[in-house]
Amino acid sequence: MTALLDFARALEFAAHKHIDQRRKGVRAEPYLNHLSEVAFLVAEATEGKDPVAVIAALLHDTLEDTDASYEEIEQHFGAEVASVVAETTDDKRLRKAERKQRQIDTAPTASSRAKLVKLADKVSNLRSMAYSPPADWPLDRKIEYFEWAHAVVAGLRGTDARLESLFDRAYEDGLAELRGETV
Q: Give me the residues that bind Zn ion (CB under 5 A), please.
A: 61, 121
Out of 64, 72, 74, 164, pick the active-site residue.
Answer: 64
Between 61 and 87, name the residue whose CB sits nearer to Zn ion.
61
Q: What is the DSSP string of 18-82?
A: TTT-B-SSTT--BHHHHHHHHHHHHHHHTTT--HHHHHHHHHTTHHHHSS--HHHHHHHH-HHHH
Q: How far is the CB of 61 from Zn ion (least distance, A)?
A: 5
Adjacent-strand bridge partners of 30? 22
Indicate the residue whose CB is closest to Zn ion: 121
Tell me if residue 64 is catalytic.
Answer: yes
Between 92 and 179, name the residue whose CB sits nearer to Zn ion.
92
Tell me if residue 65 is catalytic.
Answer: yes
Between 87 and 121, name the residue whose CB sits nearer to Zn ion.
121
Q: Please, are residues 128 and 29 in contact by the beta-carbon 8 Å criterion?
A: yes
Q: How far is the CB of 117 from Zn ion (least distance, A)?
A: 8
Query: Residues near 157 by Cβ (< 8 Å), separated by ≥ 6?
Result: 164
What residues are annotated to the active site? 64-65
